[in-house]
Amino acid sequence: MQKLRPHLGHHRPRSRPWISLGVAVAALSACAPPRTTEPPVDAVVLVVVDTLRADALGAYGAPGDVTPTLDALALEGTLFERCLATSSWTWPSTASLLTGKLPPEHGLIGKDGSAISPDVPSVASAFQEAGWATAAFVANPIMDAELGFGRGFDVWEGSDDTWDSASVPLERAEAWLAAREEGEPFFLYVHLVEPHSPYRPSEASVAALALPPLPTAEDLGAVTRAYDLMIKGEPYDESAIEDFGEWRRRCYAAEVRDADIAIAGLLETLRGRRSMERTLLAITSDHGEEFLEHGLMGHGGQLYPESVHVPLIITGPGVPRGLRASERVENRLVGATLLGLAGLQRPAGLAVANLTDATERTLRTEEPSLLHLGSGGWIEGNDYLIPLEQQGLVAGNSVTIRARLESGDRAATHRAFDSTTSTSPAEPAVIEQVSSSFSRLRRPTSSTPLSAELERKLRGLGYNLGRKDR
Ligand SMILES: [Zn+2]
């Protein structure tokens, strides 16, 4: 088995030396319509905070006062305590958010060089076809419109080759909002990359969280060597790794604080321009982040809760206020939920869903949720293995992950939605359930290969995700 460094690396120009690590439920036939006493919705805002694990927010139990904006927002609407992303890195999970489909269904799994299948529905297209203005301002440079992310957006402004700070997409969003006519309905999507590594927290957040001095290039070189040795199963300096993991965790918290401050700015802009009584707002993430809970750092390697348990907060007309929903939900259904609350038709193929409806949540949580990775890494003892695919099934409070390897399958079961990190061998019947659940998924009937130009851009960012034969 070939051993590689885990996770999807990337590099962004910066002033300091740094390293980067890391990168079905059946559709219900009906759902509750928006309350007739509510004012009609004429604005829908979706904010994705890249790499934000649920327990990084105060409202989900994080210590300190790191996310006062998001914590206060949760009191104005519904907070979903147990929300899952479909995968543990940006491409497959964000494509799920924008299409409602699981990664094997929408096709952007980052392995065979295919974009989101043109056959799958797009949440943004549904708003666009209803006559709403649509715009996306995205700070993550690997989210190229060519991959299908831009479908349905009148305006798509991404990042060419840098991991933009939040001020870039937010200033663009503010200019776009300023150009909207009074009463013109719109769907706005903003994607921030704080707290995605490499970390560059603001001085204010470094001071607020009393971060120790940032590591020197020499320090970072030492921990990188230790981490590589660890992945190779060779003797390494454990204390260097643990110290580095702790340092990363604290830098991460500082960047979460920066994201919260950025969202406060966006809310101020929205509130200054319009009545929030007619605005639906959803905030979530595409995936979480690992800090050695299961042997790795970063994301995109595994499917444990620290990578897929994400926050979800929805506010606005028709959304219960001050509610903490405890049922398990999947954030790929947020788009369909927002369309329904806005009173718009869902296009054929897009799930009908309303995550704000308690009865529907109860029905959905009785069904398993599925997770997926095109490859990633699998730690077994001292071995780091590269699976052909990882399939996850969440039922009740258990997660079973099946890693398909050239040398045969591995599978393990562990707990979802808590900090338990222990795993146990999976029961054969559950492994069979995982396998059969994925074999029943409808795969795309057509695919769009990535252009050579996009592959060059991705390689420049440290991602080698195109077709392997080119
Ligand atoms: Zn991401």
Within-domain flag for 435: no
H-type helices in 233-357, by residue range? 238-273, 305-308, 334-341
Phi and psi, residue 207, nearest 5°: -70, -40
Q: How far is the CA of 451 from the centre of ligand 1 (A)?
A: 22
Count of C-beta atoms within a 10 Å radius of residue 63 = 7
Helix (H) or strand (E) holding 344: none
Gyration radius (Cα) of the chain, Å:
21
Mean pLDDT, all residues of the chain: 87
In a domain, 432, yes or no: no
- DSSP symbol at 426: P
- Residue 3 lies inside a defined structural domain of this protein: no
pLDDT band at residue 234, thresholds of 50, 70 and 90? confident
Which pLDDT score, from 0 to 100, does residue 22 have? 33
The residue ranges of DSSP E strands in 193-335, in sequence order, are 279-284, 290-291, 297-298, 309-310, 312-315, 323-330
Does residue 149 sit within a domain? yes
Asked if the model's pLDDT at residue 110 lies above 90, the reply is no
Rounded CA-CA distance 366/331 in Å is 16
Token representation of residue 345: 């038709």
CATH classification of the domain holding 351: 3.40.720.10
Over range 69-88, report the average pLDDT.
98
Is residue 49 domain-resident? yes
The alpha carbon of 13 and the centre of ligand 1 are apart by a number of angstroms equal to 18
Percent of the chain's residues with pLDDT above 70: 90
* 63 contacts: CB under 8 Å, gap ≥ 6: none
For residues 283 and 45, give the distance between their C-alpha atoms in angstroms, rounded to a whole number: 8
Q: For 235-249, 303-317, 425-439, which range has the lowest pLDDT when averaged over its residues?
A: 235-249
* pLDDT higher than threshold 90 for residue 50: yes
Q: Tell me the helix, strand and coil percentages in the chain, rounded to 5.
A: 35, 20, 50
For residue 183, the CA-to-ligand 1 centroid distance in Å is: 33
Q: For residue 21, which of 295, 336, 342 has the smallest C-alpha distance?
A: 295
- Among 13-22, 48-57, 252-261, 310-319, the range scoring the smallest mean pLDDT is 13-22
Asked, for residue 374, whether it belongs to a domain, the answer is: no
Distance 61 CA to ligand 1 centre (A): 22
The token pair that represents 371 in the structure block: 């997770």
Tokens of 218: 């020499």
Give pLDDT tens digits for 158-202.
Answer: 998 889 999 999 999 999 999 999 889 999 999 999 999 888 899
**Cis ω on the peptide bond leading into residue 201 (within 30° of 0)?**
no
Q: What is the pLDDT of residue 421?
A: 86
pLDDT per position as a tens digit, 395-413: 998 999 999 999 999 999 9
In a domain, 441, yes or no: no
Rounded to the nearest 10 degrees, the angle between the axes of helix 238-273 and helix 167-178 is: 10
CA of 89 to the centre of ligand 1 (A): 5
Distance from the Cα of residue 290 to its chain's centroid: 13
Residue 185: which domain range?
43-212+247-363
**Of 102-106, 177-181, 306-310, 442-446, which gets the smallest average pLDDT?**
442-446
Banded pLDDT at 12 (limits 50, 70, 90): very low
Gap from CA of 201 to ligand 1 centroid (Å): 17
Looking at the structure of the chain, the number of domains it has is: 1
138 C-alpha vs ligand 1 centroid, how far in Å? 11
Output phi, psi for 34, to 5 deg.
-60, 150
Residue 329 falls inside a structural domain: yes
Q: Which helix (H) or strand (E) holds 26?
A: none
The pLDDT value recorded for residue 465 is: 66
Report how far ligand 1's centroid is from the alpha carbon of 274 (Å). Answer: 30
**What is the three-class DSSP state of 334?**
helix
Among 46-50, 312-316, 442-446, the least confident range? 442-446
